[in-house]
Amino acid sequence: MTTRKLSLVARPWILVILGAMSAFGQIAQDHPELCGNPNQQIPYPYNLTAVSTDTGTALSINLNGSTAKLDMAVVQKIEEVCPLTGGRLLVFGQFGGGGYIVYLISATTGVALDSFVVSTPAVSPDQHWLAMRDWIIPQSETPVTEQYLLYDLTKDAAGNRSLPGVDPRNMYRYGRTMYPVTPNHAPFENHGVRRDQVHSFPGGAFFWAADSKSVLFTDRTDAGLAVVLVKIDGSDLTTLLHPASAESVCGMLSDASITIPRDDLLEVRATFHAEGSAPCTESLTLHQKDFKPANVEKYERVEGNQAVRKKSPGA
């Protein structure tokens, strides 16, 4: 058989093999910032295998003699697998539109302890907390507000869906709401709210302090842009705001550091950056006295909007 004939015969099989190769290895493991360690390469999870199709990703976990399988519907690719203390894995699955389906999995049994859909996730440096934005329905027909959530990675689904003084039937999300501040920091249904209660995310990310006891981000309302600082003390959250004028910042929050240089006086250094036709970079230095406590807001369902939230991908 000539080389030309061999190539013609082998070509269909080569395409099959290449197609199979592209389906395997769908664990990117190239976003260490998702694990709370932006400057550290996270070890590749060689005991995990992922196969992605048009409908989702099948994850297999080798458990020393047995294999656990997890069907991750609509997940296009696994961006990062983070090993946590206590024999747990935190898996970030990308499904498009900037959203993530997050799975908390037992590394010893392969059982999914929890899963939820979020945007802009950021794990604290000590891997105790996960800061995130609640996933919002694209092009919702009713007013939608952001809510910035804090999830306890040392707990399971039940532990993140129960709060003192809150009826479990009224726990619409997971974890606690950092901002807007709500009674008991209880999450709420953020689709179908009053228009004067809408918060929006101006872009950027969550920025954690090195000690994992505070996190910084920005938010926008009709009153303007605010720098939001959340202090974490176990079960207690303190949310502080600094109104940022248009003259002091530009673009979006691109970098930030939170330090306590002396006498327990907190210092925040934030950098805002914009590109495009009018590029600019502005730096802002803030201290404890520049922040004020955020007011508590109460969100109640608007009549007729009870069913505006559709089923989330993977739910």
- The answer to whether residues 72 and 24 belong to one domain is yes
Instruction: Please indicate, yes or no, if residue 313 is contained in any of the structural domains.
Output: no
DSSP string of 277-298, one letter each residue: SS-EEEEEEEEGGG-EEPPB--
In a domain, 311, yes or no: no
Cα angle value 263/264/270 (rounded, 5°)? 115
**Do residues 276 and 139 both lie within one domain?**
yes
Assess whether 231 and 108 both reside in one domain: no
Residues of the domain holding 266: 124-306
The reply to whether 101 and 130 lie within a common domain is no
**Do 67 and 99 belong together in one domain?**
yes
Domain annotation covers residue 245: yes
Residue tagged 């699955």 (tokens): 93
pLDDT in tens, the chain (315 residues): 443 333 333 334 333 333 333 344 579 999 999 999 888 889 999 999 999 998 999 999 999 889 999 999 999 999 999 999 999 999 999 987 779 999 999 999 999 999 999 999 999 999 999 999 998 887 778 899 999 999 999 999 999 998 887 887 778 789 999 999 999 999 999 999 999 999 999 999 999 999 999 999 999 999 999 999 999 998 899 999 999 988 889 999 999 999 987 766 889 999 999 998 889 999 999 999 999 999 999 997 655 554 344 444 444
Q: Is the peptide bond before 261 cis (omega within 30 degrees of 0)?
A: no
Beta carbons within 10 angstroms of residue 84's beta carbon: 18
Place of tokens 């976990």: 61
Residues 31 and 137 placed together within one structural domain of the fold: no
Domains: count for the chain:
2
Residue 197 φ/ψ, nearest 5 degrees? -110, 10
pTM score, two decimals? 0.86
Are 234 and 163 in a shared domain? yes
How many whole angstroms separate alpha carbon 38 and alpha carbon 199? Answer: 28
96 domain residue, yes or no:
yes
Q: Establish whether the linkage from the previous residue to 187 is cis, with ω within 30° of 0.
A: no
Do 186 and 177 form a contact (C-beta atoms < 8 A)? Answer: yes
Whether residue 39 is found in the same domain as residue 17:
yes
